[in-house]
Amino acid sequence: MSQAEIKSILDELYQIDQSFKQYEKQLIKIINQMLNNKPDTKFDENFRRELKLKLLQRAEELSKKKTTGFFYPILYFFTARRFAYFAAGTLIILLILIPIISKNQKTGSLISFIPTFERVGNAAFGDLQSGSSGSSNADATAPEAQGQPKGLGGGGGGSASGSASMIMPPYFVNYRYVYKGELKLDQNQVEVLKRLKGTASSQEINNLLGTLNFGLADLSSFSGAQADNLTFNQDQDFGYSIFISFTEGRINIYEYWPSWNQCFKNNCVINPLKITDLPTDSVLIDLADNFVREHNINLENYGQPQVQDLWRLAYQDSTAQADFYIPDSQTVVYPLIINNQPVYDDSGNPYGLSVNINVRQMKVSGVSEITTQNYQASSYEAETDAAKILSIVERGGLYGWYAGGDNVVDVELADPQLGYYKYWSYNNETGQSDELLVPALIFPIKERPLDPNFYRQNVVVPLVKSILDNYNQPPVILEKTSPAVVSQ
């Protein structure tokens, strides 16, 4: 490895935290040790990434002593050093949580994120017909969420539900997805997974709440009350709000806005970003890796991180790039991997843990989809009719559409891979939606059309027969007519 390559890696570390520069001698020593231990290693992107991770970890160890008490990892944020003060009520809640956290420390954490699977009977989750698909980061990665409207091209309607009552204008671009290979559907049954919500500790918290009397109100008088969620705020510069849902088994981290709104406090002017202002993907991924590791967020069930920057597709096709809105928030996604297979949303994007990064501040601004991974598995009848699968492929997926007409653009697809499809099924008995992972075929798009509003990467088709039997009908395409004349 040349001195220039070493300097390049160190410079990327210093972009993350300038304080690392004071440990440059120690970091260079680590680089030399790695090279001596692996003299034949090829200096490729994988080695570069491994080296940066080791350097980041060592730099953190040198700069501070890690906190590993029984509040860690779930309540790692809430140490006295990180908060200026707690409200009295919050202190009481912490006193409630301390014995529960201490007890669960023997098994690792208050909320366990280690995946578990329980086999149940066939078709145990209902008929799956009254469902919908979606995810929190499906919306976050669509171009309109990054400041660019999706428009009617929309990649074939990946995130909209076509129905017979919808009327599309005659100038609508109608994408037809074409797979020229041969499908082999040799499975009569597929195994659907349902994520079990809630946590093992929620009942213990509920029991303790029933014994509390704050003076202002006696909580024990509210029989059957449950602790659904808990929120903490970091009252410091660039602090976070941490939302813990015990009923959903989910943690989300957001900006604590009063501590992030620095520009409002200083009455400054925010200039639009230029494309050259954005850091490289490797720097964004390093920032996400650093945050995830610092707060001990479990990545056991996740793949290699990737920057979700679909807005760049619209930028590349734009004829007015100088005026194009460059989003100041970028997203790094760690794809969820279950049974060695990736999970996708209906738009064909990888689903998983999302880390948002504020590129103006070069800081992580939020993390979403930190969820428990406890599942029930149930067998369902699989779709074996290749023609039916291909008819849904042609539409662009379960909630896409293709209605023929003159304005048709063919999009060719590559050979499919197996994966999971994130799907929500409404449960009539409970009045709630079940969060399911359904086996699916993932068809990658070979070549993207020249359309600034086309952002789809894959076409996803679930393999459960009962789901496909209930897909929506395509919209009605209007014929061209003369405008109506209103008499005076």
Higher pLDDT, 218 or 410: 410
Give the pLDDT score at 276: 92
* Count of structural domains within the chain: 2
Q: Report if residue 245 sits inside a domain.
A: no
Give the pLDDT score at 264: 58
Asked if residue 125 and residue 51 are part of one domain, the reply reads: no
The domain boundary residue, chosen from 43, 63, 83: 63
Higher pLDDT, 469 or 350: 350
Q: Report if residue 332 sits inside a domain.
A: no
pLDDT at 385 over 80: yes
Mean pLDDT of 161-167: 44
Mean pLDDT of 216-229: 74
Asked if residue 465 and residue 401 are part of one domain, the reply reads: yes
The overall pTM is greater than 0.85:
no
Mean pLDDT of 239-255: 91
Q: Report if residue 264 sits inside a domain.
A: no
Report which listed range, 32-36, 158-162, 365-369, is most confident: 365-369
Asked if omega into 279 is within 30° of 0 (cis), the reply is no
Asked if residue 406 and residue 470 are part of one domain, the reply reads: yes
Give the pLDDT score at 81: 35
pLDDT at 149 over 80: no
pLDDT at 181 over 90: yes
For 123, the domain range is: 118-194+376-474
pLDDT at 378 over 70: yes
The domain boundary residue, chosen from 63, 83, 110: 63
Mean pLDDT of 91-113: 46
Report which listed range, 123-137, 340-354, 402-416, is most confident: 340-354
- pLDDT tens column, 305-344: 999 998 998 888 888 898 999 999 999 999 999 999 999 9
pLDDT at 67 over 80: no
Average the pLDDT over each of 94-98, 176-180, 319-323 and give the range with the smallest value.
Answer: 94-98
pLDDT at 160 over 50: no
Question: Which amino acid, one-letter code, is at 388?
Answer: K
Query: What are the tokens at 411?
Result: 């999009």
Q: How confident is the model at residue 63 (pLDDT cuts 50, 70, 90)?
A: low
Closest CA to 252 of 369, 357, 156, 167: 369
Give the pLDDT score at 425: 85
pLDDT at 255 over 80: yes
Asked if residue 122 and residue 58 are part of one domain, the reply reads: no
Give the pLDDT score at 221: 77
Pairing mode of beta strands 174-178, 408-412: parallel
Give the pLDDT score at 134: 42
Q: How confident is the model at residue 26 (pLDDT cuts 50, 70, 90)?
A: confident
What are the Cα distances from residue 88, in Å, to 85, 93, 369, 371?
Answer: 9, 9, 30, 29
Mean pLDDT of 154-179: 57
The alpha carbon of 331 is separated from its chain's Cα centroid by a whole number of angstroms, namely 9
Asked if residue 124 and residue 50 are part of one domain, the reply reads: no
Q: Report if residue 202 sits inside a domain.
A: no
The domain boundary residue, chosen from 48, 63, 78: 63
pLDDT at 66 over 80: no
Give the pLDDT score at 43: 59
Asked if residue 130 and residue 42 are part of one domain, the reply reads: no
Give the pLDDT score at 460: 96
- pLDDT tens column, 256-278: 988 887 665 566 667 889 999 99
Give the pLDDT score at 446: 94
Share the mean pLDDT of the chain.
Answer: 75
Q: How confident is the model at residue 349 (pLDDT cuts 50, 70, 90)?
A: very high
Give the pLDDT score at 206: 57
Higher pLDDT, 28 or 350: 350
CB 259 within 8 A of CB 237: yes
pLDDT at 16 over 70: no
